[in-house]
Amino acid sequence: MRHSEANACYGYRIALDAKVVAYSGDTEWTDSLIELGRDADLLVSEAYVYDKPVPMHLAYRQLVEKLPLIRPKRLIITHMSDDMLGRGDAIAHETAQDGMIVKI
């Protein structure tokens, strides 16, 4: 992932019992996201802003444009700024909530 020039940044892809969960952590767009989330049962990805990328963070519209390449079965958006939180119905995917329990 790409979030800092000074530090290594990681995404995680975990397979267990024939299920795959991928987690991006903080990152701006990188093609590494394609392999990370490809065909995952669940991709949890940050989308800090809606459409105007900011350094070190992903815009929701960027991610949506690349979803046909990633093809996750389910997507949950996390790490949202006020810009994203204020979009309501413009967000077509699940969004993380405090205390959320996710079954895969």
Mean pLDDT score of the chain, rounded to an integer?
94
Strands 19-23, 42-46: pairing kind: parallel
Helix runs in 1-104, H state only: 32-37, 60-70, 82-85
User: What is the residue extent of each domain of the chain?
Assistant: 12-95
Confidence tier at 49 by pLDDT (50, 70, 90): very high
Confidence tier at 5 by pLDDT (50, 70, 90): confident
The predicted structure's pLDDT at residue 52: 87
The predicted structure's pLDDT at residue 73: 98
The predicted structure's pLDDT at residue 4: 75
